[in-house]
Structure 1
Amino acid sequence: MKKKNVMISKLMLGAAGLALAACGGSSSSTPPPSTTTPPPPVAKSGTVTGSISGFGSVIVNGDRYATNGASFDIDGKTGSQSDLKVGQIVTMKTSTDAQGNKSASSVSFKDAVQGEITAISLTPKRITVMGQNVVIRGSTSFDDDIDPNDINGLTVGDIVQVSGQFNGSGNIVASQIEFADAADAFELTGNVSALDPVAMTFKIRGLDVDYSGATLEDFDGADIANGDLVEVKGDSFDGSGAFLALSVEKEDKEDDGEDGEDGEVEGFITEFTSAQSFTVGDTPVITDESTVFEYCTADDLGVDVEVEVEGEFNAEGALVADKVECEFDADIHVESTLDAVDAGTGVITIFGVEFATDMSTRFEDKLETPVEMFGIDDLVAGNYLDVKGFERADGTLYAKKIERDEAEDEDEIQDYVDSVDPMAKSLVLLGVTVLTDERTEYEGADDMPLTGDEFFSMVMPEDLVKAEGTKTEAGELLASEIEFETPDDE
């Protein structure tokens, strides 16, 4: 009632004021209303590079971009959104309106390398394609045709397409891998070095390229020069191992931004001068006292650190960072049935362990009849999940990738050891007690077998260990196998 009386009093005072003005009781005058219509808010353009975490439009770097009317360039050919896969790296020209709605006018995908696998290493997980060292991480996505759906589904001689980003060591860190048609050309994109115009050869990251029989595209009459960004395509190598290019196409740097344009880039620090000046991929980044750091500090930055940077491009093409978010690979794995899901908070519980999710979490449905636009809303308790994540600086466990699949016979936990009880031959991973018995098998990081006594004489807190087995009624894991793992360092 009090609030209502106040409103009535204000109305009465307003009416009295109007009456006085009408009778000339006030010398003040009310200015006439403006007839000028303010201009409509202008949408802010941007350039965004990052991995796809989901669809329903396209979700990149934690934001959803409407793609109605967008053009799609799929490795130099006109395509559509249906040609894209979760995990692939794309570059988009975007627009954000006054209400914060985001849309993409163009979406471009280009693989990092496509060709034949010539070598595979399981420890650490690496493959070699076109002479390039490709790093496989816990967060790497594998297309459904690869079975099993990890590095063990690949063999030497397979033709693959790798989407990924180069780190400061010159390795391709794979974000997504799929089989390629054997009839498709081998291809690699990179900067020209060691150019010999007489022999008509050059190098791309150590790969010798012979372009004597190649067609040059988009050079506008100019010659190839050291430093040019090019894509080479062909289908064979000569006896010395040089790639015989059938075409050399000069490429534009797609993630260049215009002065004053918004920018987002996800990738690895490839050059580091200081925390105020470094390069992500080939995008120069500048920070200042107003830059906000998430899940790390400026002191944590350096070559090969994975980051997502948001800011605005300046006239020199550098991205002036408003925010730098540090990212980490998914060394923590849990495979088990889902206990609970809270789509409102984005928290899932699996094997009694809570993981946070957000729009950057990759959701992949590996069921026989998958949901195309799969997300947290599609999860239900009892689903069998493979969750890969890491622990943030605040202690929160974050799920970087979640796969739903058919149920397995055993569960799995991988984490850095919390504690060890050598006498009981047990240890704790992610707060879960891992039990052993006379049937448990043990392996070293080199996959060589160990005895239980050998394993427990070696294992220490903070060692990375994977345990497979069955969940007990008490919520423990009775291990059938325990092994040391190697962190996925680049």
Structure 2
Amino acid sequence: MKTRSHPHQARPNRREALLALLGTALLPACGGGTDVAGVSSGGTGSFTSGTITGLGSVIVNGIRYEYDDTVSVTIDGTPSNAAALQLGMVVRIQGSAITAPPTSGALATAKATRIAYGSEWKGPAANVNVGNGTFTLLGQTVRVLATTVFSPGKFDGNLGGQYVEVYGYVNVNDGSLQASRIEVESGAPDRYRLSGVISGWTETTFLLGSALINHTSASKPANLQNGQLVRVKLRTTQQGGAWVATEVEADNTSSELEDDDEAEIEGAITSFSSSAAFSVNGIAVDASRIKPPTGMGLGVRVEVKGSISGGTVIATEIDIKTDKDIEAQEYEFHGAISGLTANTFVVRGYTVRYNGTTRFEPSNTTLKNGQLVEVKAELQSNGELLATKVEVDH
């Protein structure tokens, strides 16, 4: 059987070390708290921002967030529900303190209290280049990776001319979007959508990448300016060569951050003063207490761990995520099997294929409908999920 090294499988060990550092290796500080290099360990909660890589609870950044009927779920500020959460969506989760994994290879856990999600771009797909892994949307480039989830179908030439909704991370260097999930719409939406960092600001227009946005009649916050991360709803026709905005929403993620909570955020660097001071998806990061990795800069995909203070993540660890790292990601499911056939089953609404390379635990497992399992799977180029491991829950 093929074996691969997956970054998220190493996270529990790193997290265990971090929790040990924050929980047992700290020196008492004045006032009864505990600090290392100014990072407090007194928090009782957590904040996580990243891509959903598992279901049956919600798995983000190697943390399994469980939830119950009291969880608050919103999409672009509008009430939603946990059933709407899907692989590849980018979410922000507030929850309880994180519990270290009980065994090697297991996931850290927490309980979610609030989950917020939303797509970045919406509109017609054009200029599809499967070989390069790109297409355009309103003239802006969407980059597709091997782990980009399509719903329905797969990435092929048939995408051209269809309307899509795209989740992912904007690269402010070139205005492109690295897609984590692409939903193909059944019809034309009533509004298009773009996001990015404002440039070329005037009293009537600004740029997102190369897209000219007319914001004259838009609902928007005061004091918008160059360098600000925004999401924009647009009319579906242009006026004078510009897309007409009906709403401009400035990023306000910092309002969700609670002092002393543990934080783990993944995404692209959206502003950069230095390797010690930058923002990820609009969230300020202070990395002055550690030695950041080389190669930091605008548009670089990173994962940052730390603690929150004054709306800023005080970093204790930073990892750069290359395309290769991201494409090595496995997806994970916890739930009951249904629709079992000789080579496929359904779990959490996703059809998963298994074959002779799939590892079963126990090895003599005979699958049955209704059986509770833990499944790890890789996304294939044909859009199918292939199970690398199926473990029966007891």
- The Cα shift of 1:254 comes to 2.0
**Would you say the 8 A contact 1:125–1:151 is kept in 2?**
no
CA separation of 1:330 and 1:224: change in aligned 2, threshold 3 A: closer
**Residue number in structure 2 paired with 1:59:** 59
- The Cα shift of 1:81 comes to 1.5
Counterpart-to-counterpart distance in 1, 2:206 and 2:380: 45
Structural mapping, 1:399-418, within 5 Å: 402-403=378-379
CA separation of 1:94 and 1:153: change in aligned 2, threshold 3 A: farther
**Residue number in structure 2 paired with 1:287:** 287
SS in 1 for 2:119: coil
**Would you say the 8 A contact 1:138–1:329 is kept in 2?**
no
Counterpart-to-counterpart distance in 1, 2:91 and 2:288: 28
User: 295, 316, 319: which one pairs with 1:322?
Assistant: 316
CA separation of 1:42 and 1:134: change in aligned 2, threshold 3 A: same
1:73 and 2:74 equivalent? yes
Q: Deviations over 1:303-331 (max 9, x none)?
A: 4442211101223x332212223333248
Q: Which letter maps to 1:59?
A: I
- Structure 2 stretches lacking a partner, 5+ long: 1-40, 101-107, 360-375, 385-394
1:138 and 2:143 equivalent? no
**Residue number in structure 1 paired with 2:159:** 154
1:103 and 2:111 equivalent? yes
Counterpart-to-counterpart distance in 2, 1:130 and 1:285: 31
CA separation of 1:325 and 1:225: change in aligned 2, threshold 3 A: closer
Runs (4+) of structure 1 exceeding 6 A deviation are: 97-100, 364-368, 404-408
User: 356, 360, 374: which one pairs with 1:382?
Assistant: 356
**Would you say the 8 A contact 1:43–1:95 is kept in 2?**
no
**Residue number in structure 2 paired with 1:299:** 294
- The Cα shift of 1:117 comes to 1.5
**Residue number in structure 1 paired with 2:348:** 372
**Residue number in structure 2 paired with 1:117:** 125
- The Cα shift of 1:137 comes to 1.5
Structural mapping, 1:239-278, within 5 Å: 240-245=240-245, 247-254=246-253, 257-278=257-278
- The Cα shift of 1:112 comes to 1.1
Please, what TM-score do these two structures have when normalized by structure 2?
A: 0.66
Q: Which letter maps to 1:125?
A: G
Counterpart-to-counterpart distance in 2, 1:194 and 1:323: 35
- The Cα shift of 1:370 comes to 2.4
**Would you say the 8 A contact 1:54–1:374 is kept in 2?**
no
- The Cα shift of 1:178 comes to 0.9
Q: Percent identity?
A: 27
**Would you say the 8 A contact 1:137–1:330 is kept in 2?**
no
Q: Deviations over 1:180-220 (max 9, x none)?
A: 341342112344443433xx333223311223444x15x4x
**Would you say the 8 A contact 2:258–2:309 is kept in 1?**
yes
**Residue number in structure 2 paired with 1:436:** none
**Would you say the 8 A contact 1:228–1:250 is kept in 2?**
no
1:183 and 2:189 equivalent? yes
**Would you say the 8 A contact 1:88–1:175 is kept in 2?**
yes
CA separation of 1:226 and 1:324: change in aligned 2, threshold 3 A: closer
CA separation of 1:207 and 1:363: change in aligned 2, threshold 3 A: same
Number of residue-to-residue matches in the alignment: 311
**Residue number in structure 1 paired with 2:331:** 362
- How large is the RMSD of aligned CA atoms in angstroms? 3.9
1:208 and 2:184 equivalent? no
Q: Deviations over 1:259-287 (max 9, x none)?
A: 32321110123455554344333333333
Q: Deviations over 1:417-450 (max 9, x none)?
A: xxxxxxxxxxxxxxxxxxxxxxxxxxxxxxxxxx
Compare CA radii of gyration and give the structure with the larger one: 1
CA separation of 1:244 and 1:62: change in aligned 2, threshold 3 A: same
CA separation of 1:244 and 1:401: change in aligned 2, threshold 3 A: farther
Please, what TM-score do these two structures have when normalized by structure 1?
A: 0.54
SS in 1 for 2:294: helix
**Residue number in structure 1 paired with 2:22:** none
1:172 and 2:167 equivalent? no
